[in-house]
Amino acid sequence: MLKAALISPSQSDYAGQEFERAFIHYIKALNYTMMALANPAKKVDHLESARIEARKVDILLSDIAYQKGTYQDAKDDESKLFYQLMKIFDILTGQVIYKDKLMYREDAYVRYMNG
């Protein structure tokens, strides 16, 4: 740990994001499913392993949803003071473009601003 702090972060172990860990379990479940199709003698064991990996994905994604919140939680957060202050700051710095308030006409600048 100290080596990574002093030299480079690339010297430490990569923990990965939550969704990356979910993808690992998903790919392992697909792998076990394909192994079950390829080896009929161990089909039951491989399908059981695939079921376990699918359950791990479900548990991990449920945990992420619990920690991060839902879309409704994010919508509720927009009404909080911090987000209102950030909107004001964006307006003051000129970083906000209201696309719904732009007039649409045959103007290259408007098309450029809309991306």
Tens of pLDDT, residues 36-80: 999 999 999 999 999 999 999 999 988 888 888 777 777 776 677
Show Cβ contacts of residue 113 under 8 Å, excluding neighbours closer than 6 positions.
97, 99, 102
Report the sign of the C-alpha dihedral through residues 24, 30, 34, 36, in that order.
positive
Query: ∠ at Cα 31 (66, 37), nearest 5°?
Result: 130
Domain boundaries along the sequence of the chain: 16-68, 70-115
Do the beta carbons of residue 60 and residue 18 sit within 8 Å?
yes
79-109: per-residue pLDDT in tens? 777 777 777 777 777 666 666 665 656 667 7
Contact status, residue 35 vs residue 28, Cβ threshold 8 Å: no
